[in-house]
Amino acid sequence: MATHESYSIRPIGWVRSPLTDRKGAPRQPNEGAPAATLEISEEFVDALDGLTPGQEIIVLTWLHQAVRDVLIVRPRGDLRNPLTGVFATRSPDRPNPVGLHQVQLVSITNRRFLQIAALEAIDGTPIVDLKAVL
Binding region for a second copy (CB under 8 A): 1, 3, 5-12, 14, 28, 41, 44, 46-52, 57-58, 60, 62, 64, 71-72, 83-90, 94-96, 98, 100, 126, 128-132, 134
Give the shortest CB-8-to-a second copy separation in angstroms.
Answer: 5
DSSP string for 37-93: EEEE-GGGGGGGTT--TT-EEEEEEE-TT--TT--EE-GGG-TTSPPEEGGGS--S-
Nearer to a second copy, 18 or 50 (CB): 50
Give the shortest CB-124-to-a second copy separation in angstroms.
Answer: 9
Neighbouring-strand partners of residue 59: 101, 130
Give the shortest CB-116-to-a second copy separation in angstroms.
Answer: 14
Give the shortest CB-131-to-a second copy separation in angstroms.
Answer: 6
Query: In a 10 Å sphere around its CB, with 0-12 CB exposed, 13-18 middle and 19+ buried, how is residue 59 labelled?
Result: buried
Nearer to a second copy, 79 or 83 (CB): 83
Question: In this structure, are residues 54 and 105 in contact, taking their beta carbons and an 8 Å threshold?
Answer: yes
